[in-house]
Structure 1
Amino acid sequence: MNFKRLLSTIAVSLLILSAFGQQKYTIVIHGGAGLLSKEKISEERRAEYKAKLNEALDVGEKMLKSGAKATNVVVEVIKIMENSPLFNAGKGAVFTHDGGNELDASIMEGSTLNAGAIAGVRDIKNPIAAAFEVMNNSEHVLLSGAGASEFAKKQGLEIVPNKYFYNESRYQSLQRLLKKERERTNNDNTGTVGCAVLDIHGNLCAGTSTGGMTNKKYGRIGDSPIIGAGTYANNKTCAVSCTGHGEYYIRLGFARDISALMEYKNLPIADACREEIRKLSELNGTGGVIGVDAKGNIAMEFNTSGMFRGFAKSSGEREVAIFKTNKI
């Protein structure tokens, strides 16, 4: 009798382990969309982008395989891109009109619809980590400026002088714009980073981080820290992160609208993202979006000539790309 019970226990345990091992995960990332071409980006530079995107995917996959929560994966993956000068987020943030750097970030989890965001910060090394703390350790969703920095300090996050974000190529971009007395060019906001994840527990999460728009004035804030515009996640539908000309994303309620198209019109995630990009194009807005649904299906849509992007799935599927074609 005891032997039969032992066999039964072993059988149940094996079934549980088998089911756990078969759980699906998906991670999809972006590093900004814009006027990208092979003429403007050298082979050496493309190799740098490819290596960093693959590094981010590697870290995300390792965490997901070990059973990490989607929220933790999103934070760690985005931190990798924030710490790289290749992207307009964290270390590679673009310069404001006054010659400084102001950063925005947001994160949202699909299981609870809990969210956190920070905007206009000048001294937080990893803005996505601050957004995560707002989500988990405050009663608010969005904190800005000095208040957000004070909160981050109390949470023990790394604070750095604004000069940490200095990047010569970004600084020269500002100088060119100032010289031409223009507010922006079509590719100056290229580099916003984002991540959307489905973990093995069936939960979705999305996050976005950016340095905003080159030569921005008056404390301008784009869509990246706005829940429902640049970031959205709901276990019933999808997790999405956006990149592009933020003013248009805000006007459209872009990220939330994708979820609504899926919920109320039963559109697949790829179709919903394409429909929202169509609306963006009608307003003469430019940019892109990445997303994953509750079943692990992905979308990587954009109306520009390129978008730094990549994804990996538990099935073994994986891709990193820059231009319209899937070639790096």
Structure 2
Amino acid sequence: MPTRRKFLKRSILSSAAIIPLGVVGSQPDLFKKRNSTEAPLILSTWNHGLAANEKAWEVLESSGDIVSAVEQGVMVTESDLSNLTVGLQGLPDREGIVTLDAAIMRGDGGCGTVSFVRQVKHPISLARKVMEETPHVMLSGEGARQFAIEQGLEVLPEKLSPEAEKAYKEWKQKSEYKPIINIENHDTIGMIGMDTSGKLAGSCTTSGLAFKMHGRVGDSPIIGAGLFVDEEVGAATATGLGESIIRICGSFLIVELMRQGWEPQKACEEAVKRLIAKNKNIEDIQAGFIAMNKDGEYGAYSVHPGFNFARHTKGENILIDSKSKFK
């Protein structure tokens, strides 16, 4: 049973492997001992996190604002036309409509989320508007879209991207509803960051499960499931099949374990363990978590191989392969 860090520092992660910018490698020894780094620190999910991290770091260096950093970082992915799982170019639901989810959270507990929103180019910015301009935490559907218009955010005509339209037409040939997450499906981008003073923030944005039922909402906009940040402890974010993550309040669970003294790596492993216990047909479910604590320690873990995350520190932005429960 993990004990508090002030009494015991258990080695679970190795020092960071130094590899060229953006290079993917298996790095088998990366997690043998506890890993930590000095602030600032930016972590984000999947290989599209590299470009997102670059932007977040640029914003953090110029403004010193960690909230703006995690917002503008994931906006890069929301605008990436080659990405079919984030932003308006993402794959649609069963009705051929793209609906978006997003969340942003400060370390002091401030948070805003949007779900089932259409046509908004940057749902993460809309989530921030909810956090800063309303007394609410979540806005959904048409109400969220109308609020985006009122706030002057960019709202685009409803039209599938060429790649999404092609995939949708192919899916419609059988219209089979089988929401199976491929173990290397780069869905969602979740980002967590810490500035030089130790302030924390996180963001999460997605177009959700491809060909989902119209109205379905995943874990990304649910505070405590897809994202949770507590400045006294640390931060965590999730990626994968949202239903499986919601069932265990995955990100909140990880932060609470860290509050009890668990190191981020062990906390991520415990979350995956509980997720596996609470979900059937686990061979068809991929989910992964990344986390950091106030000491700059970080960790990552997934159900199946194939999950990776981007880590940006001073002078280095690299992609790291996460360990997984199943090999």
**TM-score bracket for the superposition, by shorter chain length:** 0.7 to 0.9
Alignment CA distance shift 1:213-1:174 (3 Å): farther
Aligned residue in 2 for 1:135: 131
Structure 1: stretches of 5+ with no match in the other structure? 1-22, 32-48
Q: Equivalent residues in 2 for 1:6-25 (5 A)?
A: 24-25=39-40
3-state DSSP of counterpart to 1:205: strand
Partner of 1:26: 41
Counterparts of 2:299 and 2:169, CA distance in 1:
32
| Match in the other structure for 1:166 | 161
* Aligned position for 2:256: 260
TM-score for the superposition, normalised by structure 1: 0.79
- Taking a change above 3 Å as real, the CA distance of residues 133 and 241 of structure 1, as seen in their structure-2 partners, is same
Q: Which amino acid aligns with 1:320?
A: L
1:1-328 to 2 correspondences below 5 Å? 24-31=39-46, 52-84=48-80, 85-110=82-107, 112-163=108-159, 165-169=160-164, 171-172=166-167, 175-176=170-171, 179=174, 181-187=176-182, 190-264=186-260, 266-282=261-277, 283=279, 284=282, 285-314=285-314, 316-321=315-320
Kindly name which structure, 1 or 2, has the bigger radius of gyration based on alpha carbons: 1
Structure 1 pair 217–226 and aligned structure 2 pair: CA distance change class (3 A): same
Distance in 2 (CA, whole Å) between partners of 1:109 and 1:26 is 15
Structure 2 SS opposite 1:149: helix
Question: Which has more helix, going by share of residues?
Answer: 1
- CA RMSD between the two structures: 2.3
Give me the identity figure in percent: 30
**Residues 124 and 322 of structure 1: CA distance in aligned 2, closer, same or farther (over 3 Å):** farther
Measure how far apart 1:185 and its partner are: 2.6
> Residues 178, 237 of structure 1: CA spacing in aligned structure 2 closer, same or farther, 3 A cutoff?
farther
Aligned-partner Cα distance in 1 for 2:322–2:170: 27
Count residues with an aligned counterpart. Answer: 281
Contact 1:128 1:208 (C-alpha < 8 Å) held by counterparts:
yes
SS at match of 1:118: strand
Distance 2:62 2:39 in 1: 12
Go from structure 1 to structure 2 and tell me whether the alpha carbon gap of 1:248 and 1:240 turns closer, same or farther (over 3 Å shift).
same
Measure, in 1, the Cα distance between the counterparts of 2:244 and 2:72. Answer: 28
Q: Which amino acid aligns with 1:215?
A: F
How far residue 324 of structure 1 moved from its aligned partner, in angstroms, is 5.8
What one-letter code is carried by the residue in structure 1 that aligns with 2:98? Answer: N
Whether the 8 Å CA contact 1:81–1:87 is kept in 2: the answer is no
Q: Note if contact 1:277-1:301 (Cα within 8 Å) is conserved in structure 2.
A: yes
TM-score of the superposed pair, with normalisation by structure 2 = 0.79
Displacement of 1:56 after TM fit?
A: 2.0
1:203 aligned partner, one-letter code: K
Does the 8 Å CA contact 2:191/2:204 hold for their aligned counterparts?
yes
* CA drift at 1:166: 2.0
Query: Are residues 187 and 140 of structure 1, via their aligned partners in 2, closer, same or farther at CA, if it must alter by over 3 Å?
Result: same
